[in-house]
Homo-oligomer: A and B are copies of this chain.
């Protein structure tokens, strides 16, 4: 490991594809994946110097990445004391998070109506990918511990998020879309704790189907906004365990 890594040459050394971005963005992605991996316990001290040595860079880009991460709520900063992994979300925060998400999702669905051909095409594509991921999960009925199960669950969440992201990207309001991205990290973190998302994969897919039909105009006259409101409400009930789970 060469100690001197200057300029864009550093990217070649790190091996990943090097877009026209600074080292800061690369470090940000690395730390983000680390925090979203779930292996870091809440409250853990995240030393800048330590992390910089582990990543093989200087503390400065790490510090910049933490400033961005602070805005996402994944880490908390205490002046002169350093950064820490944010404490686990309280039930109250769950509620507020889902409340905010409901606001954003319903608004985006309303703004995206009527659907453009581009929206419909991408939405169908995302929905198909979602269906594939759900099928992969349902293939393993029993306890396929560790590796494949975690991978399948991560893929399911990614495709689920992708479906919603398509709507945000076509809602015509960059601020609403940006707000959704800001909440993305916290939502991902919530799923790691609640865990009740994967068993309901089939239901989530069906509700997405209704939303897609509403956008396409092939539904039963329900507006996309109403369909989305219903979907998010169902997600909320399942996440909070308010429904009597069958079997």
Given known contacts A20-B79, A79-B22, is B179 in contact with A100 (CB within 8 Å)? yes
B183 with A96: CB separation less than 8 A: no
Which B residue's beta carbon lies closest to that of A99? B173
Interface centre among A20, A71, A97, A172 (most CB of B within 10 A): A71
B103 with A176: CB separation less than 8 A: yes
Interface locus among A59-67, A119-127, A203-211:
A59-67
Copy total for this chain: 2
B100 with A173: CB separation less than 8 A: yes
How near does chain B come to A93, taking the closest CB pair, in angstroms?
Answer: 8
How near does chain B come to A71, taking the closest CB pair, in angstroms?
Answer: 5
Contact of A103 among B63, B80, B107, B172 (CB under 8 A): B107
Report 22 cross-chain contacts, Cβ distance below 8 Å, ordered by A residue.
Answer: A20-B80, A22-B80, A25-B79, A60-B60, A60-B63, A63-B64, A64-B64, A64-B67, A67-B67, A67-B68, A93-B174, A96-B172, A96-B175, A96-B176, A99-B111, A99-B173, A100-B173, A103-B104, A103-B176, A175-B186, A179-B179, A182-B182
